[in-house]
Structure 1
Amino acid sequence: MNTVAAVVVFLGVLSLAAGQSCPRIVTRAEWGARAASTSVLPTFPPTHVVIHHTVTGACTTIAACSQIMRSMQNHHIDGNGWADIGYNFVVGGDGNVYTGRGWNRQGAHTVNFNSRSIGIAFIGTFTSGNPTAAAQNAAQQLIACGVAQGQIARNYRLMGHRQGAATACPGNTLFATIQRWPNWTSNP
């Protein structure tokens, strides 16, 4: 993991403090991912970050979150016929970030935005509650880390899945929460 800057949110602007790290990112090998081949992201760095929820049970340990990751990947590959899990990254209630397709890979998460976005999903259902504070902090750190490393455009637009498709995702409560995050846009 590269040393980059930590997130300091001040008046809705991300500031980067030197010497801090990216959040803990669990590799595909660590969570037991199947081998997959996905396309390189055509728009790089991506201009949008799309927030999702997985509509699964929640998890608070690496073992439990890894099991959910494997189950989602199996469903996305075997059930949906996709090349891999749809999301670029997935955040567990344990505050860890799980590598889905990873950086610079085209996801399968939001039609009309897949070629120009990074999809970040929270494990769980967030219609009437929010992800843990640790999970929310990890997601915001991941975005700041991506910007600092040039993996996400500095002027990216943050949006919820429902802004790009007819869906309730990322759940009413989480959707209201991300509207207070830096770079959220009502018009993606």
Structure 2
Amino acid sequence: MVEYLPRSAWNARPPKAGPGNLTVSRVEGAVIHWPGTGSTSVIHSQAAVASALRGWQDYHMDSRGWSDIAYQVAVDQAGRAWTLRGLRTQSGANGDNDVNERYGAILLVLVTGEQPSAALKATTRAVIADFRKLYPRGTAIRPHSAVRPEPTDCPGDPARAAIARGEFTPGHSEDDDMTPAQMQELKNFIEARSQAYALWVHKQLRRDLSGVIRAYALDIKNYERQTDAADAARAAAAVWATAPKSLQVDGTPNQDPETPDPNTDPAPADPDLDPFPPVDTTPAQ
């Protein structure tokens, strides 16, 4: 919630008869301004801002012949909000009468080349949120240079850039504020970390899979050796149990050198082909 300093805080003069209140149905948004003094001397303290506001009011009323200081609200670098004409009263700052009827006017107390502070931007967002409560259709946020019929550099390059980045839009977080260079640096960092992680996962999976394949292949070979030896012994015993008597001596099998001994396990034969292709055991680099 914004706490607006009253007109008495800057010792404002009473306004003359002016244009009256804005029409809710006509308002399209808020326009951002700056004083455009051409000076680089900052206006930061409360006393300095109050003095500057009185000077701008004198200029607008005495030199320009306007009814009051031209803007509705001012926001300074410390985040203070100052009541000028007030959000309901039509401004005289945007250009011709048509533009003033369609837009509000918020003054940022900035000097040439000065970047808007986080406090200024936060308060400006809150002021615009209040503005939108009064004028629900007035959602646009535009620099003065975008609406004034005659050319102007108002509200200066830093404020224009902040508008383009959405830094005056209600709901925007200062944590989101990043320069294009910072955004690119963050993008490069994320891409590099993603690639490094993908490579690490690939190496880990390859190493783990190679170990599984080697262990499985060894288990298969051992199983085949044991199974082949046992099957051969059982087959030999069965053959000799049913052999003709002529092949037996005193009831025991004839021990022909070429005849296998059923009680002796034959040497296991290596399979003709490995069940798996050879595995590269070279450590991954």
Residues 70-107 of structure 1: CA distance to partner in whole angstroms, max 9, x if unpaired?
A: 01100110011100000001111221011111021110
Report SS of the residue matched to 1:82: coil
Which segments of structure 1 move beyond 4 Å, counting only runs of 4 or more? none
Q: Output the amino acid matched with 1:120.
A: I
Select the residue among 60, 77, 92 that pairs with 1:108: 92
Counterpart in the other structure of 1:54 = 35
Shift of 1:63: 1.2
Q: How does 1:3-82 map to 2 (within 5 A)?
A: 21-22=1-2, 24-36=3-15, 37-44=17-24, 46-56=27-37, 57-82=41-66
Map Cα deviations across residues 105-138 of structure 1 (whole Å, 9 max, x no partner): 1101112311121100111225x33122111111
1:143 aligns with 2:135: no
Structure 1 counterpart of 2:110, which letter?
Answer: G
Change (3 A) 1:31 1:81: same
Matched, 1:119 2:119: no
Is contact 1:143-1:152 (8 Å) kept? no
Distance in 2 of aligned mates of 1:154 and 1:138: 21
Q: State the partner residue of 1:93.
A: 77
Kept after mapping to 1: 8 A contact 2:74/2:107: yes
Indicate the residue corresponding to 1:18 in structure 2: none
Aligned to 1:158: 141
Conservation of the 8 A alpha-carbon contact between 1:47 and 1:157:
yes
Equivalenced residue count is 159
Identity %, equivalent residues: 27
Of Structure 1 and Structure 2, the greater strand share is in: 1
The two structures, once aligned, show a CA RMSD in angstroms of 1.8
* Counterpart for residue 164 of structure 2: 179
Distance 2:80 2:22 in 1: 27
Counterpart residue identity of residue 135, structure 2? I
**Scaled by the length of structure 2, what TM-score is found?**
0.52
What TM-score do the two structures reach when normalised by structure 1?
Answer: 0.77
Q: Which amino acid aligns with 1:157?
A: A
1:50: how far off?
Answer: 0.1
Q: Is the 8 A contact 1:60 1:93 kept in 2?
A: yes
Larger helix share, 1 or 2 = 2
Gaps of 5+ in 2: 171-285
Higher RCO (Cα < 8 Å, 6 or more apart):
1
1:143, distance to aligned residue in structure 2 (A): 0.8
From the superposition, tell whether residues 156 and 68 of structure 1 become closer, same or farther in structure 2 (CA, over 3 Å).
Answer: same
The change in CA–CA distance for 1:173 and 1:140 in structure 2 (over 3 A counts) is same
CA contact (8 A) 1:59 1:94 kept: no
Q: Which residue of 2 aligns with 1:11?
A: none
